[in-house]
Amino acid sequence: MSCLFSVLYRITNLFLEYAVSFIDIINTSFSRKQTDFANNVPFLLSPLKSFAYLCRNSQIPYICVMQTFRIVKPVPALSFYIRYYWILRDDAAMSVSERTLPVGCVQLVFHKGKRLLCLQELQLQPQSFICGQTFGFSDVMSTGEIEMITVVFQPYAAKVFLQIPLHLFNGQNVSTDEVEDRELSDLSRRITDTPDNDLCIRLIEQFFFHRLASGFEYNLKRLSIVLDEINLHPQVNTLQLSDVACLSTKQFGRVFTDYIGTTPKEFLRIVRMQRALYVLQQNPGLPFVQVAYECGFSDQSHMIKEFKLFSGYTPAEYLSVCVPVSDYFSTL
């Protein structure tokens, strides 16, 4: 039996190496519009992903996977701006695909190992990049050993440090070298060259403190109050939020989009989806009609439609393949 698994493991690795090479060939030979291959890759790889999951969660001989995932809280003085950092290391030889959903927070990502492949675009993620607000799911695949550090900002706070209106990053992974920010580019190079990840976090926080010294954004407190209102009241609408912010509807929309990175209506839809995940996380057996009511959807069919948009699955399909976890509402 051990020999059989050893052979399967070698065959699977060989197949994945050819699959990644084939994707690279397609990426360099065709334009984005000339192929729908990316849409089929996650399903093509799903049996191999299942096999990888089996390997990680069983006692199969000859397979040794070292993975560490760590969440680091910011120093107290930065907690108003930063939710947390997460650090992932994975030396698995096998490539696996993963589906990511909108989380409602802009993120700053540093790759220190092999970069992830975005399957929809068939492009590698930049070495370091700003991940703007997204309004749909994305499939990514590992291409080798992973080591990455990600900064998860509070929804209203990234603009303070990036000093650019966040709507410019909407739906994109923008390389730090493309934003014409010399200090940010220097930070990215220092992170790449620093083996100690704890030291990397300190370097990142030094950069943040330096940016905070340049002045306080007066709209931050206003938007933090708006976010509290959104988080506490599932049925809240944009008109009520503009009243909370003490701004006209037009002014509120402009300020919100610059700081949050998407429109108020789109953000409310992302939060509704994350709230549904959180309710299902806390109460797995709750009927969908009750979930829809608690999360601010107009009815169950509305929730199913939104679930399909944001995850690619209906709620029932999602629960059959994933454990529901809300990155937005879960406390650490």
Shared domain for 133 and 238, answered yes or no, is no
What pLDDT score does 97 carry?
87
Instruction: Say if residue 224's pLDDT is above 60.
Output: yes
Shared domain for 205 and 249, answered yes or no, is no
Shared domain for 11 and 123, answered yes or no, is yes
Domain containing 273 equals 219-321
Shared domain for 132 and 254, answered yes or no, is no
Shared domain for 61 and 189, answered yes or no, is yes
Instruction: Say if residue 27's pLDDT is above 80.
Output: no
Shared domain for 280 and 183, answered yes or no, is no
Residue 327 lies in a domain: no
3-class DSSP state of 66: coil
Residue 7, burial from CB neighbour count under 10 angstroms (0-12, 13-18, 19+): exposed
Instruction: Say if residue 16's pLDDT is above 80.
Output: no
* Number of domains observed in the structure of the chain: 2
What pLDDT score does 93 carry?
73
Residue 260 · residue 155 · CB < 8 Å: yes
Query: What pLDDT band is residue 330 in, cutting at 50, 70 and 90?
Result: confident
Asked which of 171, 190, 215 is the last residue of a domain, the reply is 215
What pLDDT score does 38 carry?
34
Shared domain for 113 and 38, answered yes or no, is yes
Asked which of 215, 232, 254 is the last residue of a domain, the reply is 215
Instruction: Say if residue 35's pLDDT is above 50.
Output: no
Calculate mean pLDDT across residues 47-73: 52
Shared domain for 256 and 192, answered yes or no, is no
Asked which of 215, 247, 268 is the last residue of a domain, the reply is 215
What pLDDT score does 259 carry?
96
Shared domain for 70 and 157, answered yes or no, is yes
Instruction: Say if residue 287's pLDDT is above 70.
Output: yes
Shared domain for 274 and 147, answered yes or no, is no
Residue 332, burial from CB neighbour count under 10 angstroms (0-12, 13-18, 19+): exposed
Calculate mean pLDDT across residues 99-122: 95
Shared domain for 179 and 239, answered yes or no, is no
Residue 328 lies in a domain: no
Shared domain for 92 and 176, answered yes or no, is yes
Instruction: Say if residue 50's pLDDT is above 80.
Output: no
